[in-house]
């Protein structure tokens, strides 16, 4: 299983357009090789380096949570506003939306973690913690795309 983006390669910089320094729209994503038997997909985007890569906390900052996407979902377009099914969960800004990278200091990694699940979860108010608890023993496969971002110096 794979998650990729035509906006940036694995380990490469995420363009400003997809960050809070730019238009802050979600990047285009593609999903492939979803395993047979998958009943839904889930996606968590988080920053394990928050707030400072030199001293990260144990809690990765959550930027986006998607649950119960149909298993035949092959792409999410740039600036997606309507999902092909499923639900947008609550991120760490308490928003049910994409909130792009906004690191206060240093270069951060952003993990786009895709999960193929053997069931539809049907979570009422999904958060990363609720999703991870509900996924326990239901993950068929997972894949990860990592992008980086460092705030440009201005002024």
pLDDT given at position 56 = 74
Give the containing element (helix H, strand E) for 132: helix 128-135
- 46-82 pLDDT, tens digit each: 999 988 888 877 789 999 999 999 999 999 999 998 8
Q: In what order do the strands lie in the sheet with 29-32?
A: 2-4, 29-32, 75-76
| Domain-wise residue ranges, the chain | 2-150
Give me the DSSP letters along 98-117.
Answer: ------SSSEEEEEEEEEEE
Residues 6+ apart with CB under 8 A from 153: none
Are the C-beta atoms of 53 and 47 separated by less than 8 Å? no
> At 152, is the pLDDT very low, low, confident or very high (cuts 50, 70, 90)?
confident
CATH topology of domain 2-150: Phosphatidylethanolamine-binding Protein (3.90.280)
Strand ranges in the chain using DSSP code E only, listed in sequence order: 2-4, 29-32, 40-47, 61-69, 75-76, 87-88, 107-117, 139-150
- 88-109 pLDDT, tens digit each: 999 999 999 999 999 989 999 9
**Entry pTM:** 0.95
Are the C-beta atoms of 47 and 109 separated by less than 8 Å? yes
């Amino acid at each position: 299983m794979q998650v990729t983006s035509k906006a940036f390669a694995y380990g490469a910089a995420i363009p400003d357009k997809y960050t809070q320094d730019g238009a802050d729209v979600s990047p285009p994503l593609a999903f492939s090789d979803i395993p047979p038997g998958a009943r839904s997909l889930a996606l968590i985007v988080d920053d394990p380096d928050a707030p400072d890569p030199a001293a990260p906390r144990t809690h990765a900052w959550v930027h986006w949570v998607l649950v119960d996407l149909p298993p035949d979902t092959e792409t999410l377009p740039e600036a997606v506003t309507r999902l092909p099914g499923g639900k947008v969960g609550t991120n760490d800004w308490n928003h049910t939306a994409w909130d792009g990278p906004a690191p206060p200091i240093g270069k951060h990694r952003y993990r786009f973690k895709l999960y193929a699940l053997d069931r539809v979860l049907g979570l009422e108010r999904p958060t990363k913690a609720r999703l991870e608890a509900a996924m326990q023993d239901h993950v068929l496969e997972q894949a990860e795309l990592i992008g980086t971002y460092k705030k440009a110096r201005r002024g």
